Chains A and B, each alone.
Chain A
Amino acid sequence: MAPITTLHYLVVAAALFVLGVVGVLIRRNVVIVLMSIELILNAVNLNLVAFSRMWGNLHGQVFAIFIIVDAAAEAAVGLGILIAFFRNKETVNVDEIDLLKW
């Protein structure tokens, strides 16, 4: 088997990123859209840690820790918005969240 290089990890991260983008664009359920955003953040984290290993310093890993902190804050606020909206309209369907349409 060929040794595992940085490029292998980047390919996995790119695959996860594209899957997350597909999930954000395609799914109807808002909660699953938020979970696809978490997939995207994980792909970016994997990229950062792989590059940290490649360059031989820890800046990528510290950046990844900050991204995890940011993902926690954003998940809390996003789910709060979802709950506040659900109290109004009783739906989690992105096609029905259209109160701002003309």
Chain B
Amino acid sequence: MNPGMNAALNSGMAPVATPWFFYVLAGMAVISGGLVITLRNAVHAALALIVTLLSVASLYLMLYAPFVTGVQIVVYAGGIMVLFLFVIMLVNIERSSKEHRFNRIWPAGLAAACVLLALFVSAFVKGRALFADRGMPLPESSNTQQIATMLYGEAGKMGQYTFAFEIASLLLLVAILGAVIMTKKKI
């Protein structure tokens, strides 16, 4: 991260934020993530997830990825979470907000998650050297244009991900058909 930022400083671009921004945003993301899995009311958990999504979007902005930030805010926080809230209101029964939050086998789940956490910690401690800066980071001002070139292709040529983009639109078509068919009263 640092050599790239030095080059950006030399070219006249000021750094985006101090480390304090990172710690505040990361703390917000992790704390509201913890609230998602522990709150009793489903609507409160959805709102906590929205806070998590917005702080993760701000972390993308710190990583000089403005287009992914925009997509995350518009699609994820603005589309998917609204869908979740609609469905919560459709299936909201009073009984579910008064009974136990955790299911029958919760100690086994917690033990498995602790093993996973230990695996992550050992990977980070042993592999510190793998995560050093390598390539030259790309400038932020042409980020959207370069992503568009990769997704849609230059004039006359295919980009690197044009085929994947077409398949993604097919995936969305299948999802729309599935959602419509499954919620019909009589198929």
Contacts and interface: CB of A to CB of B under 8 A. Distances in A.
Interface residues of B, number: 88
Interface residues of A, number: 75
Contacts, number: 249
Contacts of A38: 49, 76, 80
Interface string B48-84: 0100110010011011110110011001100110011
Interface string A62-89: 1011101111111111011111101000
A41 to B, nearest CB: 9
Contact of B63 (A9, A55, A76): A9
B113 interface: yes
Contact of A58 (B62, B79, B150): B150
Nearest to B86: A79
A71 B172 CA distance: 10
A18 B120 contact: yes
A28 B59 contact: no
B18 interface: yes
B36 A39 contact: yes
Instruction: Return the 5 tightest CB-CB contacts between A and B, nearest first.
Output: A56-B135, A25-B109, A23-B37, A73-B175, A80-B182
Interface of A: 1-12, 14-23, 25-29, 31-32, 34-36, 38-39, 42, 45-46, 49-50, 52-59, 61-62, 64-66, 68-77, 79-84, 86, 90-95
